[in-house]
Amino acid sequence: MATVTLKGTEIHTNGDLPQVGETAPDFTLVDKDLNERSLSEVPGKKILNIVPSLDTPICAESTRRFNEYAQENPDATVLIISADLPFAQQRFCGNEDLDNVMPLSMMRGKSFARDYGVLIEDGPLAGVTARAVLVLDQDNRVLHRQLVPEIAEEPDYREVLDALG
């Protein structure tokens, strides 16, 4: 179990992020067309931007920032993972012209959040994910992990980009 804060109040996740050097667990999430997508289907290096909901200012900003990165660095795929329905994810990305990220929804289950140790177990956001970023190599080994200690703050983008090399 990890502890993070939401505007200074402690909340807890169900576990811990995968460790650097470990292979990230495969998952099945839902894309914008309601198709199931798995991690093993996505080639190359990946950034997993795990957010509670794209309907919050910090989640929206991190998605915009990673979209800019992906536009300039097509060798890595940016997955935006949230509890939002695919329709809401698609609407947000469409309204913001964010075509360089792949939004994925946990709408069919919480196994992703449990397997990655980011499922919030208490407090007002119980049932969604903590804010986290993982960088994976082409074999889905973890190169970088970042559980953002304060959910209302952005991740450390420099650390993420440095991990990609």
Q: Is the dihedral of CA 118, 115, 47, 51 positive or negative?
A: negative
Give per-residue pLDDT as tens, 83-126.
Answer: 999 999 999 998 999 999 999 999 998 899 999 999 999 999 99
Q: Which residues are catalytic?
A: 59
C-alpha to C-alpha distance for 120 and 97, rounded to whole angstroms:
30
Give per-residue pLDDT as tens, 19-33.
Answer: 999 999 999 999 999
Domain 19-110+129-145+155-164 has CATH 3.20.20.140: no
Q: Return the pLDDT at 75.
A: 87
Residue 157 has pLDDT above 90, yes or no: yes
For residue 165, name the pLDDT band (cuts at 50, 70, 90). Answer: confident
The answer to whether 19 and 142 have CB atoms below 8 angstroms apart is: yes
Q: Return the pLDDT at 110.
A: 87
Q: Return the pLDDT at 68.
A: 92
Give per-residue pLDDT as tens, 21-79.
Answer: 999 999 999 999 999 999 999 999 999 999 999 999 999 999 999 999 999 888 889 99
pTM of the predicted structure, to 2 decimals:
0.94
How is 96-111 classified by DSSP, letter by letter?
A: TT--SEEEEE-TT-SH
Residue-range domain boundaries for the chain: 19-110+129-145+155-164
Q: Return the pLDDT at 24.
A: 98
